[in-house]
Structure 1
Amino acid sequence: MRASILLLPLLLLLSACQTPQLQRDFDPNRDFAAYRSWSWQEPGVQYKPDDPRLNSDLTGQRIRAAVTEQLDQRGLRTTAANTPADLKVKVWLIVDNRQQQVSTQVGGAWGNPWGGGFWGGPGYVETRNVDYQVATLQIDLLDGKDGKLVWRGSTEQIVRNNPANPSEREAEIRNSVAQILSQYPPR
């Protein structure tokens, strides 16, 4: 019983962090309506760290398909190979190791605060370090003429166990890319 009470604050903390953290930044001096075509800035998908568990052709294919689908829905068309594009696209998948301290009050007084008094011994605070991983999916859009970054969107999530099958992995990637690009074009 006592162990489950100690884990409750930790679980609440981790579940609160599970909501994706969307961010975006853009150059307000750019005319985003003028951008009508795009192509990949090779290498189109980069991984940090360059770990084979993260860097896979299958993951790269899923990311590229999801980005293509979302940009197409926004009226941007893919250019043919070796044809200049209005935008160049580069995607980063970054996994960071993080640590957080979690403190829990253990022991202390019990009783009725409205009149029957309190009893019990002194309490203490137990502090533990919790290690976890955070994955960031970042999409950069660069101007095709001058190569400067004009728009960046990203989402950050705590890494849980890997999805059980390829269709779940694809759905997670499609959902993340859709969330990021829902902020494009800037309004």
Structure 2
Amino acid sequence: MPRDPTQRQRLLEYLESHAPARARDLEAVGVSAATISRSVQSGDILRLGRGLYSLPDSTPDTHETLIEVAKRAPKAVICLTSALAFHGLTDQLPRRVWIAIGARDWEPKITYPKIRTVRFREPYFSSGIEDHQMGGATIRMYSIPKTLADAFRNKRLVDRSVAIEALKAAIEQRKATPSAIAEAARTYSAWNQMRPYLEAVTSNG
């Protein structure tokens, strides 16, 4: 008996606009588990992780990976370089999604997208969080002033040159005021590290 071409076509069309997709999402549009399995075996689609599929030539954009992480780790907060990239303050596209969790939280086990987990104690973890609604998920993200403070405070995790360029971009693009950035730096123990660079950027403005 020939295979059902309609299901395969439906599968490929769905992944064209929704990759990566979960098995339950595919089944909801009428694609059976058997069709998914055959398509993986034939190389038509890729299995990225348990119950997660994509097309071989598709590269999910940054927002798609953030959405996926938010759905799998809803309590985590996007931080550091990933937050800088989201806010448009760096050209660097991290290979992994940087997420912060509380000092005693369970570390999420996510196979896709790749993540880099850091533990923030209080008050660094729970403050300065924004909620962004995307793709049916709530993405918890540190605000620009908080992210800049974290970048300067964690020089082992964020190269100082990246933090400085992000600081310049935030002020030049008027995405945050110098006073708001300075307040966050003081609040989150980054003022000594950030102050000379903030003063230099604002004096040149």
- TM class by shorter-chain length? under 0.3
Q: Which has the higher strand share?
A: 1
**What TM-score results when the alignment is normalised by the length of structure 1?**
0.24
Bigger radius of gyration among the two:
1
Q: Which has the higher helix share?
A: 2
